[in-house]
Amino acid sequence: MRPNLVRQQSSTTDEQGHAKIGAMKVALSDSRPRMDGKQIQALHARLETSRLIECASESWDRGTPTEWLRLLLNDWAAYSIEGLQETLDRLHHFRADIDGVAVHLVHAPSTVPGAVPLLLTHGWPSSFLEYLHLLPLLTNPPSGEGDSGLAFHVVAPSLPGFGFSSPPPPRGFNHSDVAALWHRLMVEGLGYRRFVAHGSDLGAGVTIRLALSYPKSVAAIHLATPGLAAPPEPWSQPIRTYFREVEIWTAEEGSYAHQHATKPATVGAGLEDSPVALAAWIGEKLHAWSSPPTGSPDTQRDWMLATLSLYWVTKTATTSLLPYWAHRHRPASARTVDEPPAVPTGIDIFGGENVPFPKPPRELAERYFRLTHWAEHDIGGHFPAVAAPNLLADHLRTVVSRLS
Over residues 166-183, the pLDDT tens digits come to 999 988 899 999 999 999
**CATH number, residue 148:** 3.40.50.1820
For residue 392, tell me if it sits in a domain: yes
Residue 315 and residue 112: Cα distance in Å, rounded?
38
Please report, to the nearest 10 degrees, the dihedral formed by the alpha carbons of residues 108, 110, 116, 121 taken in order: -20
DSSP lists the bridge partners of residue 199 as 121, 223
Q: Please report how the helices 322-329 and 264-273 are oriented relative to each other, as an axis angle in degrees rounded to 10.
A: 180
Q: Please check the confidence at residue 281 and state whether its pLDDT lies above 80.
A: yes
Q: What is the pLDDT of residue 214?
A: 97
CA dist 29 → 20, 36, 102, 303, 348 (Å)? 9, 20, 10, 27, 35
- Label residue 23 by pLDDT band (50, 70, 90): very low
Q: What is the pLDDT of residue 147?
A: 58
- Compute φ and ψ for 63, nearest 5 degrees: 110, -160
Specify the pLDDT at position 11: 38
Inside any domain, residue 171:
yes
State the amino acid at position 15 in one-letter form: E
Sheet containing 101-108: which strands, arranged edge to edge? 27-31, 93-98, 101-108, 152-157, 116-121, 195-200, 218-224, 344-351, 370-380
Please indicate, yes or no, if residue 11 is contained in any of the structural domains: no
3 state SS of 30: strand
With respect to residue 18, please indicate whether it lies within any of the assigned structural domains: no
**pLDDT tens-digit readout, 221-259:** 999 989 899 999 999 999 999 999 999 999 999 999 999
Cis amide prior to 141 (ω within 30 degrees)? no
How confident is residue 186, by pLDDT bands cut at 50, 70 and 90?
A: very high
Q: In this structure, is residue 14 part of a structural domain?
A: no
On whether the CB atoms of residues 348 and 375 are closer than 8 A, the answer is yes
In a domain, 242, yes or no: yes
pLDDT for position 54? 82
End-to-end CA distance of the chain: 5
Query: Which residues contact residue 370 at a Cβ distance below 8 angstroms, ignoring those fewer than 6 apart?
Result: 340, 341, 342, 343, 344, 345
Tens digit of pLDDT for each residue in 361-398?
Answer: 999 999 999 999 999 999 999 999 999 999 999 999 99
Provide DSSP, 169-202. PTT---HHHHHHHHHHIIIIIS-BSSEEEEEETH
Residue 250 CB: number of other CB atoms within 10 A? Answer: 13
Give residue 133's domain range: 27-401
8 A C-beta contact, residue 138 and residue 117? no
Is 1 a domain residue? no
Q: Is the peptide bond before 168 cis (omega within 30 degrees of 0)?
A: no
CA dist 339 to 233, 252, 369, Å? 16, 33, 8
pLDDT at 344: 97
Domain tally, the chain:
1
Tell me what percent of the residues of the chain surpass a pLDDT of 70: 92
Angle between helix 66-78 and helix 37-48 axes, rounded to 10 deg: 140
Question: Is position 46 within any domain?
Answer: yes
